[in-house]
Amino acid sequence: MSGPSPFPTTLRDTILAWYAGGTRTLPFRETTDPYAILVSEAMAQQTQAARAGEAWVRFMAQFPTVGILAGATPADVLRAWKGLGYNRRAIDLWRAAGQIVERFGGRVPSALADLESLPGVGPYTARAVAALAFGLPVGAVDTNVRRVLGRIVTGEAGVLAPAALQRLADAAVPPDRPGEWTHALMDIGATLCHPRRPDCEPCPARAWCRHANPSAGETAIRATPGHATATTATREAPAPFRTTFRWLRGRIVDRLREAPDGEWVVLDDSIGEHDRAAVEVATRALARDGLLDLDEAVPARLRVRLPIG
């Protein structure tokens, strides 16, 4: 999975020493249980780590084992997921728990291919679980790690193509400390290597980083024309969040969370800036994703409820 490290030993040791000095305190970092780590990684996707940590404590109290989660109803899981957004992640996690029970005897698999075969588990989550729970020397690349490694190697966050970046991330992992290394790179990205105004002065990688120090020596692979991606393309300003399809989906699920188990809810009005036609489109999409049940017997009233198994 990884070859000789492209980073000098002094760089890796400096980063690991910085992490050992204390960075972010997150509750899910106190465990090596593969199931608990899988839950935390599902929650931390596109969610602030501190908020994910608070939700993780509550969720693990309600679903302490993969078997208990697999035996829960989707409605229970969606209610426990409140406040995290991207509700499909909750259903994917519930489905993954079912497959872990059925296919792997209730034990989270350690092989990357097996992990990636689970619903909602992509290359990042699979590598994070493999490194943090099983000690495998693989590099988990999230947005923070992508930014840190990209700036160290090329001076910019978005130059390396995904495949080249993944090879770099895998090769950079210290074989004997993959978990600490994973957390260290994530913490540098979250606390120092900000997207717009990186705080380079206290960064442990500063001496080797081409962004902070353009004269830094060769520390890793160079970007080639085949690896380059557009980094200066003009982007349109994002639409106001309340006008987005994701906002509407979230509000629909929130309404259903407030209803008692099994009770049908009628959605026959607009929601926010979305008219009834948009509500119907969003509702049917949520039904296709397994996030709600739609009563087709009364489609004109959009009678829906949380799935109850």
CA–CA gap between residue 309 and residue 300 (Å, rounded): 24
Q: Are 295 and 304 in contact (CB under 8 A)?
A: yes
Instruction: State the catalytic residue, choosing from 30, 41, 218, 236.
Output: 41
Other CB atoms within a 10 A radius of the CB of residue 40 amount to: 25
Q: What is the DSSP letter of 230?
A: -
Burial class (CB in 10 A: 0-12, 13-18, 19+), 252: buried
CA–CA gap between residue 135 and residue 138 (Å, rounded): 9
CA 30, 36, 37, 42 torsion-angle sign: negative
CA–CA gap between residue 228 and residue 244 (Å, rounded): 31
Q: Is 83 left (phi over 0), alpha (psi -120 to 50) or beta?
A: left
Q: Check if 41 is active-site.
A: yes
Nearest to 93 by CA among 119, 129, 122: 119
Could you tell me the two tokens for 228? 């380059």
Q: Are 253 and 283 in contact (CB under 8 A)?
A: no
Q: Are 138 and 170 in contact (CB under 8 A)?
A: yes
End-to-end CA distance of the chain: 40
- Catalytically active residues are 41
